[in-house]
Structure 1
Amino acid sequence: MKSLIKVGIASSCIIMSAFVYAEEKQSGDMAADIGAVGIPVLAGSIALFKEDYDGFWMFAKGATYTLAATQVLKYTVREERPNGEDDLSFPSGHSSSAFQGASYLQFRYGWEYGLPAYIGAGLVGYSRVENEHHYWRDVIAGAVLATTIQYLVTDKYIDSNQVMIMPVINQDHVGIAASFSF
């Protein structure tokens, strides 16, 4: 219970910081900021809520590698943004962040978790293009980069409340063995 409270407090602080940062921006920019922070925070919080510490480590590795790869590409490619603001358009950092969280949820826990997060990540990418901060290729590159990295570092979650049934065949016996966890 204490870890759940800590996760809630940390999540709230991070999301609130996105609101403060986005205060002076267009509404689409604020939504993108919240999604880029909120989706990964939600993904990490779900892992902690499930007490899936191995999964949280996979999430953290994916987030770290995605952030590093995104920044290296931004400063290597130096593509100008559609609005002329600066030359750090490729790939979209907001999209890579949002898709990293969504990809983690899908790869670790399945489509029930991943699909809503992917919809949110898609909206983050759409708003970045709509508000002329990125081209579509920047958003797609961020999504592909994050998804690929997260795929490489994430194992499927195996719920401990499972039933395993398997055949047993040896020289003396033929039968079925069952294992129940709860």
Structure 2
Amino acid sequence: MAGTAHASDKDWRNASNIGRDLLVAGALALPTVQEDWTGTLQAGGSIGAATLLSLGLKERFPEMRPDGSDRKSFPSSHSATSFAAAASLHNRYGWKVGVPAQLVAAFVGLARVKADKHHWYDVVAGAAIGEASGFLITTRRDTDVRILPWGDSKGGGVAMAIRF
């Protein structure tokens, strides 16, 4: 008789590590292969900023992981790093590259919850950090479209300029 397949916590952890590593490698390799050195630098900056911010927040807000292994649950640095790489690809090269990368990043977040390493809100916080990092640090390669975040003492927003 065939039984149902069940992924262990270790399988989910391995899957999240592989997904994160593939996204980081892709975000750095794609612009490098195209000799888009600005893109490589921006992707590295986005990923580095998200990773450092998430690791710093883990120290500031020591929350127990669901599996009880340590107090470094909030926020998910796997999610922050993955979403930074995906957002960097999306912002730099458009939706055809960005949507698949975003789906892989979402899988990484899901896998971290399934591995019992994070609560859902740890993943959401990590995703927000990564998305912000990727979209604020990375610029669009296509110079005909610019997305510019802005802010002042009364609010903020995003402006988009298109050259025809």
Bin for the TM-score computed over the shorter chain: 0.7 to 0.9
CA distance in 1, matches of 2:83, 2:46: 11
CA distance in 1, matches of 2:45, 2:23: 16
Matched, 1:149 2:144: no
User: 1:128: which partner in 2?
Assistant: 112
Cα RMSD for the two superposed structures: 1.4
User: 2:15: which partner in 1?
Assistant: 31
Q: 1:45 aligns with which of 19, 29, 32?
A: 29
* Structure 2: unaligned runs, 5 residues or longer: 1-8, 145-164
Shift of 1:144: 0.3
Moved over 4 A (4+): none
Q: Which has the higher contact order (CA 8 A, sep 6+)?
A: 2
Q: Which structure dedicates a bigger proportion of its chain to helix?
A: 1
Shift of 1:47: 0.7
Total equivalences in the alignment: 136
Compute the TM-score of the two structures, normalised by the length of structure 2: 0.79
1:24-58 CA-partner distances (Å, limit 9, x unpaired): x7211111011111111111100111110011111
Shift of 1:121: 0.8
Q: Is the 8 A contact 1:37 1:97 kept in 2?
A: no
In percent, how many aligned pairs have the same letter?
Answer: 32
Compute the TM-score of the two structures, normalised by the length of structure 1: 0.72
- Structure number with bigger Rg: 1
* Structure 1: unaligned runs, 5 residues or longer: 1-24, 163-182
Counterparts of residues 50-65 of structure 1 (less than 5 Å): 50-65=34-49
